[in-house]
């Protein structure tokens, strides 16, 4: 039998390892990408359930579904799970699937390391989610983990810190792999300025990851030693300062925000040209804008802590540097609009999500600009306005881009077309109710409702109800997403051509659908490259 397998392996070019070994010992970038996406989807579900619980508690004033400590655990873990468990792994999964296909590489450069980056995650997620069930419950001090509050939780405190260490190791190894793959395994002729923007944005994201994940590791290590080994980093009596944590954390935290959004920019820059049937407007400007955003992300962290009592000169610096980010971001938004200008537009599900991204991410960007102003921030800080802001950039921003990316590339992965009508239902339900969910939170914040509270004054009830109803419908409509994917894989209509999208360019569309298990064993020809890059 084993010998039979051996001969089969030699006979069949597209041989896959069988059974559990295929996944546990995986070195194939497509398999690892799939595992990343499944893990991200699972964590999105868990984080989403926490969100539903939060909106249920906030449905009206005086609700007592959860005690306040549990409510705070839910908000804290919702944030951590969505950031580290859902969005980041989803990006790495997409990177794994698409970067080798898009640059004409046979696989990721360090396949075994790739496996390790993934398989650390299920263990880290277990440690993180299990902290709900230890005495004292999960950490409840907010996802930002500020001391000294953070250090007052029980067994959940070291569990979360070690989970973050593990997730950090995973991210760093994954980012190293992405950089090495892009720098070393591009097909001949795939020069840097011919790379698709998803590859470009991921390259820059990977640099951000390597630069800041170790800093987060340092920050949480200091928390750990302060609590268990008597150091004084965040203890004023010993000469330290709790505010020090804020600086170190946000030095990680702001680049982290761009780690969550830059790959989204990449995906939008793939989808819009395809469905506008025009090359991307200002390709090089897009690359330089991405790099500028990444650079600026390192010098703006103070805007997360304007009210902490920092010198006026520092406030001014952080305010101005933050507002500067609007320039390269504006370049991007205008380039996307210019790409669509006089294009031959069609609105398949990926394009719908991309267009929604354009509008709704911009709303999040504008509220970010408002928050960047020191005097206004004194009013908005710690209110629901901030919650509305970052949910606008992360949900109709990052998450919509993930949806768009999956709807764009799913035919390439599975070789089948999904149910367009259902996907459009998914889109319209999502885009309507994400606004019902988050837009009222701007009003609540401006009216003074603080974030991270289990109950509120009765005058905030109306908009909270609207927001909760939006949340429930938005949450429920996400069930469509896995259903559409599973239905597509099991019974979708097989695709004969290399690309189901007539306007698509890129090396991934030069491969058959589904992409063979081992792709680009021989690099693409110059003709493919010229057709694929289209600029």
Instruction: Give the residue with the Cβ less far from another protein, 133 or 428.
Output: 133
Q: What letter would DSSP give residue 85?
A: I
CB of 229 to another protein, least distance (A): 6
Instruction: Give the residue with the Cβ less far from another protein, 158 or 397.
Output: 158
Tokens standing for 518?
A: 């081992």
Scored b (16 or more CB within 10 A) or e, 410-431 reads bbbbbbbebbeebbeebbebbb
CB of 9 to another protein, least distance (A): 10
Instruction: Give the residue with the Cβ less far from another protein, 248 or 268.
Output: 248
Distance CA 533, CA 535 (A): 6
CA 131 to chain centre: 23
Q: 494 has which bridge partners?
A: 416
Instruction: Give the residue with the Cβ less far from another protein, 169 or 422.
Output: 169
CB of 35 to another protein, least distance (A): 12
Q: Which residue has the tokens 């939008």?
A: 268
CB of 351 to another protein, least distance (A): 34
Distances (CA, A) of 201 to 4, 69, 101, 293: 45, 39, 16, 11
Instruction: Give the residue with the Cβ less far from another protein, 123 or 443.
Output: 123
Distances (CA, A) of 62 to 74, 213, 425, 457, 459: 18, 40, 35, 9, 12
CB of 161 to another protein, least distance (A): 9
Distance CA 309, CA 243 (A): 9
CB of 118 to another protein, least distance (A): 8
Question: Any idea which residues carry the catalytic annotation?
Answer: 78, 107, 143, 170-171, 254, 256, 258, 269, 303-304, 329, 332, 451
Q: Which residue has the tokens 């300025």?
A: 193
Instruction: Give the residue with the Cβ less far from another protein, 145 or 488.
Output: 145
Among 474, 481, 366, smallest CA distance to 422 is for 481
Helix axes 242-276, 400-414, angle to 10 degrees: 50
CB of 436 to another protein, least distance (A): 41
Given a contact cutoff of 8 angstroms between Cβ atoms, the answer to whether 206 and 130 are in contact is no
| DSSP string for 130-144 | HGGGSTT-S--STTT
Q: How many C-beta atoms lie closer than 10 Å to residue 10's C-beta?
A: 9
CB of 391 to another protein, least distance (A): 29
**Phi-psi group of 448: left, alpha or beta (phi > 0 → left; psi -120 to 50 → alpha; rest → beta):** left
Instruction: Give the residue with the Cβ less far from another protein, 471 or 523.
Output: 523
Instruction: Give the residue with the Cβ less far from another protein, 68 or 122.
Output: 122
Segments of 407-504 assigned E as strands: 416-417, 493-494
| Phi, psi of 434, rounded to the nearest 5 degrees | -65, -30
Among 37, 5, 10, smallest CA distance to 21 is for 5
């Amino acid at each position: 039998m084993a010998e039979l397998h051996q001969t089969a392996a030699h006979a069949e070019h597209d041989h896959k390892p069988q059974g559990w070994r295929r996944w546990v010992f995986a070195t194939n970038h497509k398999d690892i990408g799939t595992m990343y996406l499944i893990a991200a989807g699972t964590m999105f579900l868990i984080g989403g359930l926490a969100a539903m619980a939060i909106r249920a508690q906030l449905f009206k004033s005086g609700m007592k579904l959860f005690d306040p400590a549990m409510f705070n655990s839910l908000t804290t873990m919702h944030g951590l799970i969505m950031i580290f468990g859902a969005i980041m792994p989803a990006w790495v999964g997409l990177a794994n699937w698409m970067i080798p296909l898009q640059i004409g590489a046979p696989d990721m450069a360090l396949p075994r390391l790739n496996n390790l980056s993934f398989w650390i995650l299920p263990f880290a997620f277990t440690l993180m989610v299990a902290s709900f069930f230890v005495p004292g419950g999960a950490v409840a001090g907010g996802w930002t983990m500020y001391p000294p509050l953070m250090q007052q939780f029980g067994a959940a405190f070291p569990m979360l810190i070690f989970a973050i260490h593990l997730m950090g190791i995973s991210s760093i190894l994954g980012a190293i792999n992405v950089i090495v793959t892009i720098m070393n395994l591009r097909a001949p002729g795939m020069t840097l300025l011919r790379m698709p923007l998803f590859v470009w944005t991921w390259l820059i994201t990977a640099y951000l990851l390597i630069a800041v994940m170790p800093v987060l590791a340092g920050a949480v290590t200091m928390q750990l030693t302060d609590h268990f080994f008597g150091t004084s980093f965040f203890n004023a009596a010993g000469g330290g300062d709790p505010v020090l944590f804020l600086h170190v954390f946000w030095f990680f935290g702001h680049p982290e925000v761009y780690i969550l959004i830059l790959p989204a920019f990449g995906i939008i820059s793939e989808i819009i040209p395809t469905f506008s049937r025009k090359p991307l407007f200002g390709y090089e400007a897009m690359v330089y804008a991405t790099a500028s955003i990444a650079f600026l992300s390192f010098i703006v962290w103070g805007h997360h802590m304007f009210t902490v009592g920092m010198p006026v000169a520092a406030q001014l610096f952080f305010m101005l540097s933050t507002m500067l980010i609007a320039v390269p971001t504006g370049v991007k938004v205008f380039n996307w609009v210019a790409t669509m200008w006089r294009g031959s537009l069609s609105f398949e599900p990926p394009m719908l999500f991309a267009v929604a991204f354009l509008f709704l991410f911009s709303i999040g960007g504008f509220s970010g600009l408002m928050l960047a102003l020191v005097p206004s921030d004194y009013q908005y800080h710690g209110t629901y306005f901030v919650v509305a802001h970052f949910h606008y950039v992360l949900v109709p921003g990052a998450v919509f881009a993930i949806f768009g990316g999956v709807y764009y590339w799913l035919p390439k992965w599975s070789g089948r077309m999904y149910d367009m009508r259902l996907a459009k239902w998914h889109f319209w339900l999502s885009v309507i109710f994400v606004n019902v969910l988050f837009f009222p939170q701007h009003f609540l914040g401006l009216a003074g409702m603080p974030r991270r509270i289990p109950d509120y004054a009765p005058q905030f009830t109306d908009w909270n109800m609207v927001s909760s109803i939006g949340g429930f419908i938005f949450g429920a409509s996400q069930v469509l997403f896995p259903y559409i994917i599973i239905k597509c894989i099991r019974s979708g209509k097989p695709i004969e051509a290399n690309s189901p999208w007539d306007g698509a360019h890129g090396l991934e569309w030069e491969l058959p659908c589904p992409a063979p298990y081992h792709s680009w064993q021989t690099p693409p020809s110059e003709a493919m490259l010229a057709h694929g890059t289209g600029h």
